[in-house]
Chains A and B, each alone.
Chain A
Amino acid sequence: DADVTQTPRNRITKTGKRIMLECSQTKGHDRMYWYRQDPGLGLRLIYYSFDVKDINKGEISDGYSVSRQAQAKFSLSLESAIPNQTALYFCATSYGANVLTFGAGSRLTVL
């Protein structure tokens, strides 16, 4: 099994729908992150969490929310999806300010 598992891997939805992307990890890491990757823009940080009670906004948090349900689980929600949220989303984990371990990605298409 992968160290960082993201579900779903692919999702097509319509404008205005609520979407949740889930991430779970078996690394035992304290820190978890959600990134968005767009062609030509690189990886941009949406939200990050240093422990269950610590949630922080990244550089592009508008339109997104997160929940850290447990040390191993970190979910990203789009309350009302819009087409410009079409992107590849990555969850990542780290131990301290150290090397990130990424999941395989969740490709979201908003029509």
Chain B
Amino acid sequence: EDQVTQSPEALRLQEGESSSLNCSYTVSGLRGLFWYRQDPGKGPEFLFTLYSAGEEKEKERLKATLTKKESFLHITAPKPEDSATYLCAVLRGGGSEKLVFGKGTKLTVNP
């Protein structure tokens, strides 16, 4: 069975304190790994897609990386506006065509 595990469940950082969020997955034939950001009371918003081990994507203070077993979302010098829940999801091969989501990491950045 496909599984996506995100850690930690919650993370508190001071503004400027860099850190990483983890997404480990067990899936048959990964077709893609997706990162989303969700603000309270809103729907998830797409951040990145990674397709193969070794791939990296960057956007402002965020960088996503992928290995064969996990993905990291690195946050460099975070700001309070980076506070949100970050969701990881995987799409497996074999014609499934369905995303499996992790439970998310709630990030709080204090000024």
Contacts and interface: CB of A to CB of B under 8 A. Distances in A.
Interface of A: 4, 40-45, 48, 50, 58, 90, 92, 97, 99-105
Contact of B31 (A40, A97, A105): A97
Contacts of A45: 98-99
Given A97-B31, A97-B91, A42 B45 contact: no
Interface of A, secondary structure class, is: strand
Given A97-B31, A99-B34, A58 B98 contact: yes
B33 interface: no
How large, as a class, is the contact surface on chain B?
20 to 34
Contacts of B102: 42
Nearest to A97: B97
A43 B101 contact: yes
A32 to B, nearest CB: 13
Nearest to A96: B97
A26 to B, nearest CB: 15
B87 A100 contact: no
Nearest to A2: B43
Contact of B87 (A40, A41, A43, A50): A43
B65 interface: no
Contact of B46 (A44, A100, A105): A100
Contacts of A58: 98
A37 to B, nearest CB: 9
Interface in B40-71: 41-46, 49
Given A42-B104, A43-B87, A100 B41 contact: no
B110 to A, nearest CB: 22
12 contacts: A4-B43, A42-B87, A42-B104, A43-B44, A43-B87, A44-B101, A58-B98, A90-B44, A97-B91, A99-B34, A100-B99, A105-B42
